[in-house]
Structure formats: structure tokens, C-alpha cells
A and B are shown apart, each in its own frame.
Chain A
Amino acid sequence: MKSDPNLEYVQQFGFRPAGMRINWSLILGAILAAIFIALAVFGPKFAPHHPLDENFIYVYDGGFVKSPFPPLTVPGYPLGSDEFGRDILSRLLWAVRPSLILVAVSAGIRLLIGFCIGLGAGWMNNRFSRMLESLISVSLSIPVIFVALFVIAALGQSWGLWAFIMGLTLTGWAEPARMIKEQTRLIRTQRYIEASRAVGCTNGELIRNHVIHHIMPMVWMILAFETSAALLTSAALGFLGYFINAVWEPLGDFSSIRAAGLPDLGQMLAVSAGGIGKTPATMLSAGILIFLMILGFNLLGEGLRWQADETNRSHRKTRWQVWNEKIIDSLEERWYAQILRIKRALPVAIPIAAVFLLVIGGGYFLWNSTHLPESFSAISVYGEHQWASAMHDAQGTMFTDVSGPANPSVKQLAVFDQPLNTAPVVAADGTIYVGSEDQNLYALDADGNRKWVAALPDVPSQGPAIGPSGTVYVPLSAGGIAAIQPDGNLAWVLEGKEGETPVAGLIVSSDETIFFITTNYVQAVQADGTLRWRRSVPTYSYGRLFPRLTLDEKHFVFIDTLIRTNDGSTAFKETVDPTDVFIIGTDGKTYLFTTHEFQEFITKEEGGASLVPARSWNERVLGLGYRTPGIGGIAPNGNIYLYYASNYTGPKVFWLDAQGELISQNGYAFERINGSLASVPIGADGQGYFYLCGLMSMQIGEFTANCTAQAAKAGSGVAWTVNLPPGAFPIGGVILDGKLLVSSSDGVLYELADQPQ
């Protein structure tokens, strides 16, 4: 057989001729790696659906298809869907980013640790270097998946993402360390090192000027291999049920489940592994993507290794090199030396900077994606009133950023002849408005002195609201509304429909439209008192009735129905569970509050809307019994406050953290009157307290009530409980700076305030 002329060339000259072989590994690997990096950066933008968007039934002209949709059968779902009707293509496009960043950060940390240990073990020749060598050998002999499982099983719940990074890097640095050690040892034995030492170079100078310069080209290769290895392990961990972007939900002492959050590749494998026969497309597509990613980075590493081999390099100068040399030659000596110094520093500086950037930037991204911003509120009260409606604002968040009382005592702020009938509201200038059984609306200053009294045509009922202009709108028990100007003059009265009574407090939008709900109708009234529209809606609810305006004011939500503000038509109705209610978080998003989660309501650009699980918790851990969602909200720091009520037993209040982990819980044994629970939830404040009042015991004519603050602190969280004077029966309350105001049916407005020191 004829011998290979190329090989003869190599044997004769020590390197292969230029253009002898194309480095296909490098080309293919670079293409695949670039595709996946592009997917990580831009993938979510191209996703046709939200990855958590569930669609259990797809309806088309001829019928319907139930999820999981097979690939290429349902329009808009090219790869089909999983059993919850979530688009697999969209999930894949979202999954690449967290998976790739996690493995890249882990690979960067492995490389940094391996670099230091490998350099030490390879350069030194003493007992310490032998110890480092033994450490490398021991770490190499233990499969990384064992170590990762140990670490994540022990730390998983509390360390979350960092447990993954620690598990993947604890012994994962050993392979880079071995490569660096071997290369360092090879360099150490070279003649030029001996010569440099002979002319007086120190160890530091030798490492800086020679060793690191020779090792640096390996960094890219090691990074590619380590990315591939970390991906292999992290996908395996995902398959076993440990994945990032997950919610850990304890079921019992040691029993838990993980509910999927935003997807990553490991999670997709884990979730689809359970129903491999039902949803093979998820498993197949995630598996193939993982395979291609590992293949891409393996090829890239192999290609870089091939390229680093001196015998594989082309020794023919490229046009760029020739041009570059010409420029340098044309420069004066002073510039020439500086440019040479820069040229020498760049190959070292660029990989070091890239690895640090990868670790710090990727780490920040991962941290940021698993932690909510420290504090953010999108809600503002129109007219900047202190407490504009029965639930604080038009969105009904029941959250105020002031701090209520920390250790209050009770005093009577104002006493009235007749029982109070409404919750108080407080204007921007501190004026307190409260309605009474005597058909009057009272305006008081902060010390409880009367500013004026406005006579109403009927008994006020439910909660009044203050508009942006300062006008106070009061619902009347005959189903109408009265508008009182800030100076106490009656502006107008809208008569109610016969037989109707108000069932919820009012809210007022930024353009002064008043939304009002009576027994059978929901209605919108303009600022001049004319009726804009009236629609018939069912108003029976298990929860507390209150309309809430969405942040864009296109809709308002009422129980589990979304109603358009322009014409009162129903935009969306949640039909699965009658106990669900829509709420608005302080983040400005609209959520459906179900027994175990907040589902974000997302309007799609192409029309329609979807509910996407946003925050989950374990309802069994909360011990809800027969309680149903009442009031829920998200505080600006991400904590969740939940008030579950029941027709059969006392309410329960919970504080959960942003990940749905329980912080505090407490049940309240309030009494019932005429079948209704005598409990008044007031709201949450900036210091993380939830305030509520309720009737503790009921003897004829002698009520005993108290108010409580439940903090977002471990345990029951009860910060204080204060008894109201005998006979007090709380109707409603507001949270102001350092105090609570509670209106009572004994005709007293109570103030629960911290005493000045």
C-alpha cells in the first residue's frame, strides 16, 4: 500500500502541511455551541407560548384535542405538549438558558479551583504537592454524581441553586486540576525553565512568565469539556428529581414533592420520566437537546485540543498575520515594545477575564432569577390618599407601606350617637371619613375632632371610597351611591335599582369612575353621577366580596370573573373551582388565588389569556380544613400573605416567603353572628405584619373583641393582641403610620396606637 505523503511530511518536518486536514471537530463543535449560546440568549424571545401556559383542551372547528398533544397535530404546538398542555417547543426554548448558565458557572468554578490546585501540584515538589496530588487522585476516583447527590440531598432545601453549584464543583475540579498538573510538570522539566532559574528568576516570575503563558491556551478546551461534563451530571440529577427552578413542598416529616417552576432541561427530563409512555415527545426532545449540547461541547473541546497540538497547526501565515506583522514593523521602537507587551498579555488576560466574567455574571443571573427584587411595588393610591377604600387602594391589595403599631394600646378616638356602619377611609390630608347608622357621613381630623357632618339620603353600607379628586363616594343600603365633596357638600345621589343592596365596598379608578356591586348587578358610575353601564352578574362567593381594578384599568376582577371596565362585559371566567378569587399583587400583576397557588393571569397579544402558575405552596401543610381563599397578596419584598376564611370555623392567616415556604401561621377562634363570621381582616403593612380584628365571645349585649398583628416571623407570628373595650364590635379598619383605626358598631372609632416614649 502506498504510504501517506502527509505522514511523511509530519515525520520529516515535525508538523502537518497547511491545509492537510480540516478541524471538523472544532468547526462542528463551535457551530453547535454557538447555536446553544444563541438559544440561551434569545430562546425565550422566540417561544410561541409561555412555558407554564397550560392548555388542557384545544378546540378546533371539528372538535377538540385533549392534552398531551402529539407533535405536528395541533397548530401552534409543533413539538406537541406535555400532559398539562404546555408547549414543548416553548419549554425547550426557555430551558436552555438556566441549564447552560448553571453548567457554565459550575465549569468556570471547577476550572478556577482546578487551575490553582493543578498548578500547585505540578510546580511544587514537596510534601504539600504530594498531598495535592493525592487529593486530585481521590477526587477523580469518586463519580461526580455521587458527590452531587450527597450535597444536594443534605443541603437541597435551604441552599437551592447553590447546592447544585457546590455539588457539581466539590470534586468536579479534579479533572481540570489533573490536566493543569500534567502540563505544569511538563513545562517544569524544560530546558528554558532551568536556564531562567540559572539567571536568577524566582518561582513567581517563572510561573507568571512561562507556566501560565503555556497553560492559558488550554483554558478554552478545559472549559468546553467541563461544560459538557457538568451538563451530563446536572441532567442526570434532574432525571433523578433534583433540578433548579423547582418548588420544594414538604408533605410530611420527610416526604416532599417538587412542583415544577420555569423549565430547565433536567426538570423536563424528571417531569416527563413519570409519564414516559404518555408524553414521549417531552422526554425525546429534552434528551436529544441534552445529547446535542454534550456533543457540541465535547467536539469543541476536542477540536481545541487538536488545534493546540503543534503538529496539527498550519504554519502558513494567514493574510491577517502578514498584515498584522507589517503594521507592527512599521511602528517606531517605543510603540513596538508596548504593542508586543500587550500582545503577550492578551492571551493570558482574555481567558482569565472570560472565566471570571462567566462565573460572576452567570452567578449573578442565576441568583437574580431565583430571588425576587428586594422591594418593589407597582401600586399607587390614586389621589395619594392614606387609605382610599375598604381594601386600601383600587387594586384591593390591602397593603400599605407605612408601619402600623408595634405595641399598641387602645383609646376611643371619636364617639358617635349611633353605631358606625362602614369601614373608615383616610384622605391624603389625614381626614378620616366614616359612615354611621344615623344616615350621616362624618369627617374627622387625625385627633378625632369633627370637621363636618354630611347628611345622606339613606343609611350608608359597606365601604366608602375616596376618588382622586378627594370626593367621597358612599354606598347606600338601598343600592344607590352618594357623592360628598371634600368640603362636606352633597354633590349628587344615584338611586339604586329596586330591591338591590350593596354587597361590597366601592372602588374608584384614576378617571374617577366608580365601580359598585349590589346583590345582582355590577355597575360603573361616572364622576358626574350618571350610570355608564350596569350588568347582571352572580355575586355569591365563598370568599370576601370586593372588586379590584387591574393595573392597566382595562378590567376589574370580581370573585373569579374578569370584567371589562369599558362596557362591563365578561372577559374571562374561571370555571374550575368556585372558591377561587382574583387578586392583584403589589407587583401589579393579576393572580387567581386558588387553594394552593397564585396563578398569574396573562393576556396574550394575539388575543385570549392564560393562567400560569406563579407561586405555589402546600395546602396540606397549611392545614386549611374547610377554609377557602379569602384575601391574598404579595408584599413588595415578595412575601405572600394569605387569609383563609370559612363558614364553619375561624379564619387562618399565613405568611409565606417568595418561594412559598411557610413563615408563620395562626388560626383565630372568632365567633359567628347570624351565620356570618365576625372577623375583620384589615391588611398588611411595610414591617411585615398582617392585622385583623374579630369577635372573641358574645354574650347578650356584651361583645368581647380583640385585634391582632401577625408578623412574618417563624412560628405563630403573633406580635401582639389587644382587647377592645367590652361591647366593641369591629366593622372595619385602616392601617396608618404607627396606628390602626377600627370602626365599631358600638358607635366608637377606636385608635390602636403606639404610646410615645
Chain B
Amino acid sequence: MRRTIILKFLFIPIGVLAAGFLGFVYSKYALYAMHLQNPFAASPELPTDLFGNFYLLIKDALAGNLGPMPRGFDYSVADALKKAVGASLGLLGVVVLGSTLVGLTLGLSAVNHRDGTIRRWLAPITAVGMALPSYIMGILFVLAIIFITIRQKQGGTFFLPVGGFGWDEHIVLPALALMIRPTAQLAHLSAHVLSDELRKQYITAARAFGHSWLRIRWKDAMRNILSPVIMTVAGSARFLLGEMILVEYIFDWPGLGYLFGWTLMPPRIAMLQGFYVDVSSFFLHTPLLTMLITLLTFIFLVLDFSAIVAVECVDPRVRHENGGGENEI
């Protein structure tokens, strides 16, 4: 396990660079393919010296000089990325924390500790939660806010903002929209693994030794179910990065998903942060796309690595396998 952890750690910079290079090559070739399909464009030339150009881009990125943003914005790509990383990681953190707390609470409280059965109310909640895409939740929230505001008397204002960035009430709706699915997933998983765990022989033995249900549940069983819970949380966080493209788009939240969406979405005139912008200039924008892929890969790999380290720390069985457990014979 420790060998895996070391290997994973060493793989992070290699993986990040490889993903960045792939993104760079993709944007160049996709632009070339678009030129080929355009009957009015001049004859396109095949991208050349990809390694050299990628090296120059990385050098510029490290120097914080990635050029200006496409038209419509008066700041640089580096500034936009810095802002986006902060916005996305903040939102991701809130969502992961919130969904973990709520999901675990729901899942654990649904398990009847005496016989390990799962209470019936959990199944419909998790079934509905897992079938609700975050963007549909986001739209429902926006519609609900609009509906409530319309029902108010004249001059009524949105009691929660339906768009824009801010570490205040602005984060409520995007966070809630993103939370539904991972919460349901975690509740479903934690309830089932705890239910399975409480039926194991060592639980019967612990009960025979006179341990209280409280101790058995929260100390013995809980430590053994944390491993799948952590892996699920890490998986949910990765999944959330994909969902953020849509939710950040709905709520005009200037994060990585928001920028990522515009670099790959069909070009059109669109409302961006309160202004109409010709977003066609974002489409396949090489420095932006390359750095976005690099950053997202970095976040993926760090999440994966953190999950493995956390499992190593909390799961007694894994520690035992590695020879570091307290019950080692």
C-alpha cells in the first residue's frame, strides 16, 4: 500500500504534464480540423513542433504570462485561472463537506443498529436523489426563486441570488444544486456498508463481550466502513468537477467548470458575467484549454492521492496489511 502511495505521489507531476500536453495537442488539432471543415477558411497547416510550443506555454504559465483573455474580458488568462481555481475549489469544498455530513448522517441514521436492517425511508430518498441531475436541480431552484419573487408584491427582490459570485448567500444555490446527488450516493453507500458490517461475526463477539451498541457502532464498525466512504467521497468530488461545468454555467459562477465549458461549448453570443460576449473566441482557446486540463488533472490526482492516504490512516485492516496496525501479531 505504501509503495502504491509513493508511486501515486510520484505520478502526480508526470500525469499533470502528460494531461496538459494532451490538452495542448487536442486544441491544436481540433482547431486544424475546424479549419478543414470551413469552406471559407484559408488552407490550414498541420500543427508543428508541438513539444517546443508546449514547453514555451508551460514556461509562460510558470511566469504567469499566458496572454490576455479572449475579447470581452480586460484581464489576463492567468488572472482568470487564479480566480477560477479559488472559486471552484471553494465551491467544491463546501459541497463535499456538506454532502459528506448530510449523507453520512442520513445513511448512518437509517441503519437499525440492533439487526443491521436499513429503514425503508432511505430507499426512496436516495433513489430520487441519485436520479436528479444537478443542472435540473439548479434550474428548479432558479425557477422557484423567480416564482416566489413574482408572487411577492411589487418591488420584491430575489431573497437568494440566482447568479453571480460571492462567498455569501451567492454560494447557497449552486452548492445545494451540486450537493443532492453526492449526498444521496453517500447516504445509500454508508447505510449499506454499515448494515453489512453490523452483521459480521466480530460485532456479535463485541456484543458478547458486553460492549455497548454505541461503542460498537461508532468505534468498531465505523472505522471499518470509513474506507469505502472516503473512496466514495473522492469519487463524488471527481464527478462534481464534471457537474460544475453545468452548475457554474447556470449560476454564472466564474470557476474552472465555467471556463472549461466555454472552451468546448458550441460558439455563440452569450451572456457572460452580465455582458453579452462573443464566446466564439473562447472556443478551443489553446492556452486556456491547456491550463484548464492541467489544473483539473492536478485536482483529480490530488483527490485520488488524498483518498488513498486517508484510507491508509483510518482503516485498521489496511494498516494491518501494511504491518503498522496496533493488533499486529
Contacts and interface: CB of A to CB of B under 8 A. Distances in A.
Interface of A: 1, 3-4, 7, 11, 24-25, 141-146, 149-150, 153-158, 228, 232, 235-236, 239-242, 248, 250, 252-258, 273, 276-277, 280, 283-284, 287, 290-292, 294-295, 298-299, 302, 621, 662, 714
Contacts of A291: 131-133, 136
A703 B304 CA distance: 80
B328 interface: no
Given A143-B238, A240-B246, A153 B37 contact: no
Contacts of A283: 139, 143
10 contacts: A4-B115, A7-B117, A142-B300, A143-B241, A146-B242, A242-B265, A256-B268, A256-B280, A294-B132, A295-B127
B143 A284 contact: yes
A282 to B, nearest CB: 11
Nearest to B263: A153
Interface in B230-245: 238-239, 241-243, 245
Contacts of A153: 30, 264-266, 283-284
B219 interface: no
Nearest to B142: A276
Nearest to A302: B127
Contact of A287 (B139, B242, B265, B296): B139
Given A240-B261, A257-B268, A277-B146, A232 B304 contact: no
Given A141-B304, A154-B29, A236 B135 contact: yes
A269 to B, nearest CB: 8
Contacts of A158: 33, 37
A1 B117 CA distance: 13
Given A141-B238, A143-B239, A149 B264 contact: yes
B140 interface: yes
B114 interface: yes
Interface string B109-134: 00000111100000100011011110
B142 A250 contact: no
A250 B38 contact: yes
B310 interface: no
B133 A276 contact: no
Contacts of B246: 236, 239-240
Contacts of A292: 131
B267 interface: yes
B19 to A, nearest CB: 9
- 3 nearest CB pairs, A to B: A143-B242, A295-B131, A255-B280
B41 interface: yes
Interface in B213-254: 238-239, 241-243, 245-246, 249
A662 B39 contact: yes
A714 B266 contact: no
A294 B131 contact: yes
B26 interface: yes
Contacts of B267: 254-256
Given A232-B133, A287-B139, 16 more contacts: A24-B123, A25-B123, A146-B296, A153-B30, A157-B37, A236-B133, A240-B261, A253-B38, A253-B40, A253-B41, A255-B278, A276-B143, A280-B143, A280-B146, A294-B133, A298-B127
Contact of A241 (B143, B146, B268, B281): B268
Interface of B is mostly: helix
A417 to B, nearest CB: 49
Interface in B265-285: 265-268, 278, 280-281, 283-284
Contact of A254 (B130, B280, B296): B280
B249 A240 contact: yes
A294 B135 CA distance: 14
Contacts of B130: 298
Nearest to B284: A153
Contacts of A149: 245, 261, 264-265
B239 to A, nearest CB: 6
A154 B133 contact: no
Nearest to A138: B15
Contact of B135 (A239, A248, A254): A239
Given A157-B37, A158-B37, A235-B133, A256 B114 contact: no
Contacts of A242: 265-266
B34 interface: yes
User: Which of B41, B117, B242 has most A Cβ within 10 Å?
Assistant: B242
Interface in B99-115: 114-115
Nearest to A3: B115
Contacts of A290: 133, 136
Nearest to B117: A4
A299 B127 CA distance: 7
Nearest to A270: B266
A145 B117 contact: no
Contacts of A154: 26, 29-30, 33
A276 B30 CA distance: 32
Contacts of A146: 242, 296
Contacts of A157: 34, 37
B120 to A, nearest CB: 9
A602 B146 CA distance: 38
A25 B265 contact: no
Contact of A145 (B115, B245, B266): B245
Nearest to B131: A295
Contact of A276 (B34, B139, B264): B139
User: Which of A156, A254, A280 has most B Cβ within 10 Å?
Assistant: A254
A298 B131 contact: yes
Interface in B303-317: 304
Contacts of A299: 127
Contacts of A280: 143, 146
Contacts of A284: 140, 143
A3 B117 CA distance: 10
A241 B39 contact: no
A383 B143 CA distance: 62
Contacts of B26: 150, 154
A241 B265 contact: yes
Contacts of A240: 245-246, 249, 261, 265-266
User: Which of B29, B34, B38, B143 has most A Cβ within 10 Å?
Assistant: B34
A384 B242 CA distance: 62
Given A141-B304, A154-B30, A256-B267, A287 B140 contact: yes
Given A154-B29, A298-B127, A298-B130, A7 B264 contact: no
A436 to B, nearest CB: 45
A7 B41 CA distance: 71
A255 B268 contact: yes
Interface in B1-60: 26, 29-30, 33-34, 37-41
Nearest to B41: A253
A143 B244 CA distance: 11
B283 A254 contact: yes
A112 B314 CA distance: 38
Contact of B266 (A144, A155, A241): A241
Nearest to B300: A141
Contact of A3 (B29, B114, B131, B199): B114
Contacts of A3: 114-115
A150 B133 contact: no
Given A241-B265, A250-B38, A256-B266, A145 B131 contact: no
A280 to B, nearest CB: 5
Contacts of A302: 127
A246 to B, nearest CB: 9
Contacts of B34: 157, 254
B214 to A, nearest CB: 15
A695 to B, nearest CB: 30
Nearest to B133: A232
Contacts of B239: 143
A100 B118 CA distance: 33
Contact of B136 (A141, A256, A287): A287
Nearest to A21: B120
Contacts of A255: 267-268, 278, 280
Contacts of A277: 146
